[in-house]
Each structure stands twice: as C-alpha cells, then as structure tokens.
Structure 1
C-alpha cells in the first residue's frame, strides 16, 4: 500500500473521533447559551417579554440538527451545520458585548428592556453567552477538521456537484445578502422613550460592529460553502448559516409582536425570507447529469451560466448607479419651515461613484468588454459605500441636533438602497469571478485571451508600497478646513469612517489577489483599485465648494502616490504578460 493511501486511511479513521469532539463542543456551547438565556445579562434588569423558551430552543437547535445528520450517517452535512453556525459566532459575540459597554443602548428586549436612566452593569448571563459563542466557534473549527479533504468522486458525481454549484451559487449569495440586509434594518418599531430602536448604522459602535460582522459573514460564508468541492458540506453550511441567522431574527420578530409599545418591523421579515432561501437551496440535490445538458461533445463539464452571471452583475450595477443618482440629486433633508435644508457636501461624490459603477455595468453587457470590466467592478463598487456613508452622515448629524425641525428626506432612502444594491453587485461580481476562474482552469495555464498566466516579474515591492500608501491615504483627511474636521479611521471615527474602512479593505483584498490572478484579471483588479483611490482623492474637488476654506489634506497626496504605485504595478503586470 502506498504512503498516500496510508495517510488517507489514517485520516478516515480520525474523522469520526474529531466529529464526536466537535459535537461535544457544540453541546457545551448549547449549555452555555441556554444558561445565558435564562440568567440575567444585566443586573436589576427585566425582560420585555417571556422569551426564555424560544431562546432555549434556538440555543440547542444547531446541536440537534447536526446530531440528527450525524446519526443518519451524513457526516458532511453534520460538519457543515457546525461550520455554518460558527461563521456567525464572532458577530453574535460582539453584538452581545454591547451589554457590557452600555446596556441602555441595546435593542434586545428578549434579554433586557430598559426602563430607567440609571447605569446598569453586566451580569453573569452575558459572559455565559460570550463563552457559548466561543465554544461554537471552536466546534466549527473541529468540524471543518473532521471533514478534512474532499473525498475523490467519480466523474459522474463530480459533474453533478459542479452543475449544482453553477445553478445555485448566485441564488445562495443573493439569499445571504437579503438575510444580511434584514439583520441590519431596524428590528421593529417602538413608542417607548427608553427603547430607542434604530437600524444598525444609527446604533452604538459595538453593536454596529457585530451586525457588520454578521452581514459580511453571511454572503462570504455562503459563497465559499457552495464553491467548496463537497456538496454535503456546502448544504450543511447553508443550514448552519440559516440557523445562526434565525437566532438573531426570530427574537426581534417576536419582540415586535409581543411588546405593547412595539410594532412589527420589516427587518426580521426580510431576514427570514433570505433564511428560507438558504434552506430551500440546501434541500436541493443535483440532477443526474446528461450529455445534452451541462457537458460538451467530449463529455466534459462546461459552465453554461457564465454569460447569465455577467449579465446579472451588469444589471445589478445599473440598478446601483440609478439609485446612487437618485440619492445624489434628491434632498437628503427636509424641513417644515420655509428655510431650505442643507445639502450634503458628499452628494457629488456619490454621483461620481454611481456613474462609475453604471459605466462598468453597461460594459458587462458588451461581450468584448465583460470579462475585462468584471474585475474592475468587483473593486469599484465600494466607492458607493464610501460616498453613501458620507451622505448619510449629514442626515444623521442634522436630525440628531436640530431638535426635530429637520427630518430625513427621500435622498436618504435612495442612498440606503444604493448601498444595498452595491453589496449585491459585489456579490454577483465575486460569484461571476469564481465561475470564470473555474472555466479558465480548463485552459491549462491561459487567461481569457489565451495568454500565459505565470507571473513574469516580481510584483511584491510595488504591491506592498501601494498597500502601505493606501492605508495612509484612507486614514488621513483628504480635505482640511479651519472649521471642518473630516471623519477618519484613527481619529473622529464616525459614519463616513465605515465607508472608508470598506474601501480600504476592498483595496487591500484586491492587492492581495493580484499575484494569484491571471494577468488580465490582475490588471482589472488594479484598475479597480485606481478607480477607488481616485474617488477618494476626488473628494477634494467635488466637496471643496461646500466647505469654506477647504484645501488639500495629506490624504489627497497620499492617494495620488498610491495611484502611481498601482499604475507601476499594472505596467509590470502587462509587461510580464507580453513577455509570456
């Protein structure tokens, strides 16, 4: 017997033991979460409604589902459930930590309903919940280790799994995005002066961080799960993501129904609709492959959905551009008096970001440009978040200090929708890129134009330089003025800072992928980075007219320097492609 066969045999013998350990850790997590659901999380606190039975059921549900799959012999499904639940554990833990920072700002009536202005401290229940989330994450790591490498499949089964991924990948990502959107929306309406219900972006920083972690983990986890080689692990992950998301959405839904001072909100309903989509895809099974569909004349699997994915990405980009245009030209604020409300200085930046995404969206419908525009769009979408958060900051600040005289206008709604559509566009672009890469892998080392994919030059130095300059550019102000303090990443952290952080992470992620991408895709990613840095620098000419005494800050010059470094990297990439 060969050494490889012995290693595979040892791995197969070890997997059941590790899976049992993962289930045991999941059982510990369930006990801790049950304790956190029953023990008060805040001293001297009262719950808004009798939520203990529901919380206990939600705490033990992941273990019950995973154990049921394991007892049926579906170890892949069982492992996937634990992995999917673990993907949302960090976000849920950070969300619970808001009780330790300021319980009065929490919107979690199933655990605590504020009824006074006194300061309350965290109780033992909170730490039970946090420990339960940590145990959940450990169980997911063990489950992933138990599943190990994907077992070899015969050609027919592998082809069926590939066709299943191609059919449901986009659906899964959209369902995950819908779930994430529902979770960041206001959970319910409230007339209670002590229970200030707001959406995630208007809430406290710790809770916002938790919601953002949940919103990011859902589409990313769903896309990675469906892209995995094991169909059972992917389906189990979708079930786990759905169960974990339900533990956040269901209590909010019940609060809107049970509390006398609350009304049912759209957020939990939207989230549950996305959760239903994840479960529906997890319940599907791949159809038997046939030579007439999904294979070419040689009997090899092809990718018939790539054209539709590119068109869908272009459509999402055009919707994003249209919504951003409406958000830029309509009023962000409204007043009851004759005095017109002020406009956001960032509205023209939002318009520019929307036009950029719109142009790229149009290019997605041109066959000769679609493959080149897709990697650019996978980076440039973040410009809508950068500009959108800056526009929303004006509305949030004005409505909070104007004493009720100023209210949010229609531009705020359009801006919110544009940001959501931008996230959907990004997910579609990523899914299209995954399918495109699978198709390119059949080209045996060639890109979409038939050029060699091996890098000819060392890009590490200019990439590192571009990354360092990008971090400095996004962290320093682009516009400075005597009576104006711009939001940043290290100082004056506010609503626009989240857009800057999204832009910076997108830039760094694109730069990280460049050495591992084909030359054409690498050049597209770098072009997207240039667009994003250009939008960041464009804040100076586009907003200076609305700010008295505005001048260029150090962030403006650093952004230009980063653009130069990225262009040098792109030139080296194209030079290496020509040599190849």
Structure 2
C-alpha cells in the first residue's frame, strides 16, 4: 500500500489490490498477499517455464542429436520471462509492481502460438526443421516425435494460459499515455524483429541441415514464422500504447524476452558449429529483443506512470489489463493503422520492382502477377493515407478492414510463381525479392489486425454514447448482401484467367500456395458481409465499398497479370464483377441512413 492510497487509521482498504495486513494505520507495510489472478498467472507461467526447460533437455525426436550443448541456454531462455515477472511481483511492498509482472506475462504469451507452430515442424518432418539446438539430422529420414516435443508444446500452452490470466490482473490506470516517440521506438524495433523472423536463421554447408526463411520453409514452420512476424509488431504497438502502466512497460519487456528465445539459439549454433554461418535474420532479431527489453525496463514519462512523491489522498482507480481502459485511444490506433498500411504499400512497391526469380545466367525472371500485386499494395496504401486525416479516418477505416486482404491474395500469387519456377533446375529464388513480398504480406495482416482493434474501440465508444439501438440493417439490404456472399465465394473459387497452357489455382481444385491467398480473400469478404447488418449505416457503406474494391481487385487479375499466352476471361471474372455490383447496390441502400448520421 502506498502513501497515496493508504486508508486512515482503523479503516480497512476497499482497494482489491490492497489485500494484505490487518486494517489500521501502521506506518510499516506488512507483506502483501498477491491478487488471485496474478497468483494463477505466475503459477501457470512457472509451469510453462519448467515444461519448456525440460523440453530443451529431453530428446524431442527419437535419437535426437543436438548440434551443441544447448541445454543450459534453453533452460535460461525458458525461465527468463517468469523470473522477470516474479521479481516484479515479489519485491517488497513499497516497490512491488503487480501490473508490470502481469504485463511481462502477457507479452511473453503473445508469441506462444507462433512458437508452438515452429515446434510442430518437428512432428511433421524433423528432417526439414532448422533447429540445430534440438536436433541435427544425419540423413533424410524423419524420426518420430519424442517426449521432449510434447513437453515443449505443453509449455507453450501453459505460457498462453498465463497470459490470459494476467489480463485480469488489476493495474492502476495512468494519467496519460507514454510519449509518441516511445510508441514509435517500440513499434520500429518490433518491425525490425519481424523482418529478422522472415530471414533464414543461419547459413548451412550441411546437406542434411536445411536453412530457409519464412517463405520457403515447410509447413507448419512457415505458418509459425509468418504468425510470429505479424504478431510481434502488433502486440508491441498495443502494449506500448496502453494507458495501463504495467502493460505499457511489461508488454514490451515480455515480448523482448520471448524474442530472445528465438534469436539466441541460431546465433549460438552458428558460432558453435563449423558447418553453419551467421546470417542477418537472427542478428536483427537479437537487436529487436535487446531494444524491447531496454524500452520495457525504462520508466515511463511522468504523465504515463504513477506520480511519485507525496500526493493528496485519493482512491486508486484499478483496472484489469483486459478492460477497455487498457485499450489505446481511437486516434493513436488510426495513426498506427495508417502507418502500417503505408509501409505495406512501400514494401509492395519493392516487391513489384525486385525480381523473385533469376536464371542461371543471373537474368531476372519477372513474376506474371507483379503488377497485380503492385496495384493491391497501392490501393491499401492510398486508403491508409486517409487514416491520417481526423475528419475522414473513421469513415474509411472499415474499408481498410477488407482491403488488407488484397496484398495477401496477390502476394501469394507472386510467391507461387517463384516457387513453381524453382522446380526448374535453371532457375533460383532471389531472396531480396521474396523478402519484400513477404514483408508486404505480413504488413497487410498487421494492418488488418490493427484496423480490427480500432474498429472495436470505436464501436465500444459509440455504444457508450448511443446504446445498442439502431444497429440493425434495413431488411432491403439483406438481399444484395446474400447475393454478394454467394458471388464472392464463386469469384475466388473459379479462375479469372483461362489459357491453353495455364491452370489457375483454385479453392476446390488445383490447390497451390496461391490458393491460400484466395482463401484469405473469400474469408475476409464473408466476415465483412457478416458485420454489415450489425454496423451503423455509415460504417456499413464503408465496409461494402471495401468488399467491392477487393472483388474488383480479384477481377483485375486478367488485365494486370502478364506473360500468359492466349489469356482470356474465366468465369471468376464475371462473378467478381457481379459480386462487386451487389456490394455497391447494398451500399446504395444503406447510404440514406449514413447521410442522416445514424
């Protein structure tokens, strides 16, 4: 209990965090009892650390052969987050920071799903896993999973549970947010880390030890790396912009410690094994981990943290880390979303003008989908620029919540071309070109996540003002919505381009890596259409405009995709145009309500 909120002598505190000691005006602080959510979170995090440490010591596959003595390193990396959280939670009462401890656990838990997917590669095909700290293959056979792998997966699950429990820990709301420069620094460092996650973890001269970046890695390792690259900057931005001081500091600190567990093993392996070389990826990741840790331990500005020194006695206003008080304000979220969208557009420009495939004579082989990819990125960036205008940001944000899928649809087509071309012996992948495309796709996913959070905050604020009434769409809008849904599914499932020597990727036939982009597109359209009936008219119009834009982008594959001899329209073209028309009709029906400002 601090001098600011200690009750007068003989009066018990009703602050749920001040649960220690007998009531009374003692001048000394007796040992405090931690709140139940924090106790549960620390217990789950401790269990997760123990499981992860044991997973690093026990063989993960049958006959596992770690490339070096990685056990002590893996144990240290496993216990660092929970040790930092425990240190903040178990300090003497005047210096105790339960909110900071909870923030560390939340930050570490944010990366647990992606790390679990990385470990699942050992179960799918251990011979293709680039994990020399756990196993160095000596042949092309894939050994069966062993107890260590299940311990690792259980550890990630326990870490995620700890983060969920930590969200319920009460933390005193600060009087302001951290400076914009601190938010920019945290996000910038996290973006550097995301870039490192997309690169190869090391260079290898061992024919049996693969080295690949996020794009050419096997599944599920590729999915894990892409998820980690998308999660790191978004989680860092949400944590650093939180008004809760504990999350604003602890979130980046937990993310930094979890990122260190991804950066250290490949760096140590490259230093310890003669067959491996250090590459830029883990170096960037280590820089990001160090930067996040430094920013996490740096005290917040006075306006964003609890004031020090004598203060007038007043009741502390606790809030849990998952409550609405911890979400950043609407304007910072709009700026963050617009910034990510513009950066995504710049990455798309780099991907469009950089070759992804080169021939044996070092001649660039351009992708047939690069102009399609460029248009998708520029469309997203143009709408993202509008997010910087306070008067129009709220009106265009719903469209951005749909158009983010454009770089995924088109970027997957570009990468599919590169992967298909490398099956020919005379062609090879250009790492720089693939990296630009991958970075744009990750940025697009981050834009979608940030836009969704901004929409949630805006909706909650509007609900507080006007209540839940009037949120249902007029019945005459439902018919074109159903038509747009049916036409949208067909548009992404059937080919837009047909040619004698070309088989287009699809959803229910000829499923290729490009089909994952089509799947992202159709799911985005269906999800947005499901939100329209529950949206206010102005936001529904913007959502429908974004849906129409995405379907028109799908139809634009025919004129923008080059290099296909004898290309002619396929059924997907007409279905995409019809779906866009249905969405625009629905927008026109909702427009009168938008003009009334309802």
Q: TM-score range by the shorter chain?
A: 0.7 to 0.9
In structure 1, what is the equivalent of residue 50 of structure 2?
A: 31
Distance 1:61 1:314, change over 3 A: closer
2:62 maps to 1:43: yes
Q: Which secondary structure state, in structure 2, belongs to the residue aligned with residue 334 of structure 1?
A: strand
Output the TM-score relative to the length of structure 1.
Answer: 0.80
Q: What are the equivalent positions in structure 2 for 1:515-554 lying under 5 Å apart? A: 519-543=537-561, 546-548=564-566, 550-553=568-571
Contact preservation (8 Å) 1:170, 1:428? no
Report the Cα distance in structure 1 between the residues aligned to 2:82 and 2:562, rounded to whole angstroms.
56
Q: Which secondary structure state, in structure 2, belongs to the residue aligned with residue 197 of structure 1?
A: coil
Query: Could you tell which deviates more after superposition, 200-209 or 236-245?
Result: 236-245
Query: Could you tell which deviates more after superposition, 412-421 or 307-316?
Result: 307-316
2:201 maps to 1:187: yes
In structure 2, what is the equivalent of residue 279 of structure 1?
A: 293
Contact preservation (8 Å) 2:538, 2:595? no
In structure 2, what is the equivalent of residue 298 of structure 1?
A: none
Query: Could you tell which deviates more after superposition, 325-334 or 74-83?
Result: 325-334
Report the Cα distance in structure 1 between the residues aligned to 2:35 and 2:385, rounded to whole angstroms.
51
Report the Cα distance in structure 1 between the residues aligned to 2:174 and 2:537, rounded to whole angstroms.
29
Q: How far 1:241 sits from its partner (Å)?
A: 2.2
Q: How far 1:53 sits from its partner (Å)?
A: 0.7
Contact preservation (8 Å) 1:46, 1:113? yes
Q: How far 1:456 sits from its partner (Å)?
A: 6.4
Query: Could you tell which deviates more after superposition, 537-546 or 385-394?
Result: 537-546
Output the TM-score relative to the length of structure 2.
Answer: 0.78
Contact preservation (8 Å) 2:502, 2:564? no
Q: How far 1:494 sits from its partner (Å)?
A: 3.4
Q: Which secondary structure state, in structure 1, belongs to the residue aligned with residue 561 of structure 2?
A: helix
2:367 maps to 1:344: yes
| Among candidates 473, 489, 500, match of residue 457 of structure 1 | 473
In structure 2, what is the equivalent of residue 115 of structure 1?
A: 138
Contact preservation (8 Å) 2:357, 2:430? yes
Distance 1:75 1:393, change over 3 A: same
2:588 maps to 1:571: yes
| Among candidates 319, 337, 348, match of residue 324 of structure 1 | 348
Contact preservation (8 Å) 2:230, 2:445? no
Query: Could you tell which deviates more after superposition, 132-141 or 260-269?
Result: 132-141
Q: How far 1:407 sits from its partner (Å)?
A: 5.0
Report the Cα distance in structure 2 between the residues aligned to 1:442 and 1:227, rounded to whole angstroms.
22
Distance 1:510 1:267, change over 3 A: farther
Q: How far 1:103 sits from its partner (Å)?
A: 0.6
Structure 1: 5+ residue stretches without partners: 291-303, 447-451
Question: What whole-Å deviation, never above 9, does each CA across 1:468-501 have from its counterpart, x for those lacking one?
Answer: 6545543444334454333344554433234334
Q: Which secondary structure state, in structure 2, belongs to the residue aligned with residue 356 of structure 1?
A: helix
Contact preservation (8 Å) 1:479, 1:544? no
Structure 2: 5+ residue stretches without partners: 1-11, 21-32, 306-327
Report the Cα distance in structure 2 between the residues aligned to 1:513 and 1:174, rounded to whole angstroms.
32
| Among candidates 175, 181, 191, match of residue 159 of structure 1 | 175
Distance 1:24 1:426, change over 3 A: closer
2:519 maps to 1:497: no
Q: How far 1:142 sits from its partner (Å)?
A: 2.7
| Among candidates 87, 90, 101, match of residue 124 of structure 2 | 101
Contact preservation (8 Å) 1:187, 1:265? yes
Q: Which secondary structure state, in structure 1, belongs to the residue aligned with residue 122 of structure 2?
A: helix
Distance 1:434 1:38, change over 3 A: same
In structure 2, what is the equivalent of residue 449 of structure 1?
A: none
Q: How far 1:105 sits from its partner (Å)?
A: 0.4
Question: What whole-Å deviation, never above 9, does each CA across 1:328-365 have from its counterpart, x for those lacking one?
Answer: 35544332459x76542212212322342354356567
